[in-house]
Structure 1
Amino acid sequence: MAKKIMKTLATKVNAEEEKRLILLTLNDYLQGRPVIDIERLRGAFHPDAYIRTIIEGKLVQWTLSQYLDLVAKATIQECQPELLSYTWDGNTGAAHVQLTFATFRFIDRFNLVKLDGKWQIMDKISYQEEL
């Protein structure tokens, strides 16, 4: 007979704290990107993060610095940010978000890592959908 593992209050408290910490990072992205807050975005990503997308059938990737330079040149537009889902196991996680603008939407998937008590986006893969 398999043992049934009961979640303790300490486990539930730890899960709630992890959720809070992950959401801090994801909100830095979701709130920082629409208003082009480069420092808030920088704080959401690990310094060695890569950002990838497909443009005209080809894989394109940027370092975090290159990506932030591109974002800094973007025009601020009305945007609806949305967290679609997130999950984690230990010190790794994943998230699925979207940013909907007037004529297009970015659908992003993130790999997350927790280092020194802080969750960071390690990789971003993005799809742009025309509306």
Structure 2
Amino acid sequence: METLANKIGIEEEKQLILLTLNNYLQGRPVLDIERLRAAFHPDAYIRTIIEGKLVQWTLPQYLDLVAQATLQECQPELLSYTWDGDTGSAHVQLSFATFRFIDRFNLIKLDGKWLIMDKVSYRQELS
């Protein structure tokens, strides 16, 4: 039976997860490195496939790349998220004029805060 306390706990958890996801979704389009850093665990890895090969970056390497990116119009969107206990996942996309990034995150909760532990990204060219 779902009690009021359970409902409050679920809503609180959703808000904590959304805080982390919004740090990414709102920080990435404007190249806000500190907001992005707040979304990720310091030991996070970012992975993608480029020309058929796996490429991966540590969080500092990824943030350096983002800091050098050209500011572009971007539409961020949270597609879905879920969690069980202290682990979760999310599916987001960032749509630019000619391409979009489709990202999948593994999330962990440490010390009451949700963080992105891993990001797997796919770049889709738009016609």
Q: TM-score, normalised by structure 2?
A: 0.99
- Distance of 1:12 and 1:92 partners within structure 2: 19
Hey, what does 1:3 align to over in structure 2?
A: none
Is 1:27 equivalent to 2:25 in the alignment?
A: no
Rg (Cα) greater in structure: 1
- What is the CA-CA distance between 1:104 and the residue it aligns to? 0.3
Please list every run of 5 or more consecutive structure 1 residues that lacks an aligned counterpart in the other structure. Answer: 1-5
1:48 equivalenced with 2:43 (yes/no): yes
Name which of 2, 7, 12 aligns with 2:7. Answer: 12
Whole-Å separation in 1 of the counterparts to 2:25 and 2:72: 14
Query: What are the residue-to-residue correspondences of 1:1-131 with 2, within 5 Å?
Result: 6-131=1-126
Letter in 1 for 2:74: C
Q: Distance in 2 between matches of 1:47 and 1:8?
A: 36
Alpha-carbon distance, 1:9 to partner: 0.7
Please give the TM-score of this superposition, normalised by the length of structure 1.
Answer: 0.96
The two structures, once aligned, show a CA RMSD in angstroms of 0.3
Q: Distance in 1 between matches of 2:59 and 2:67?
A: 12
Aligned-pair distance for 1:48?
A: 0.2
Secondary structure of 2:2 counterpart:
coil
Where structure 2 has 5 or more consecutive residues not aligned to the other structure, the ranges are: none
Runs of 4+ displaced beyond 4 Å: none
Identity %: 84
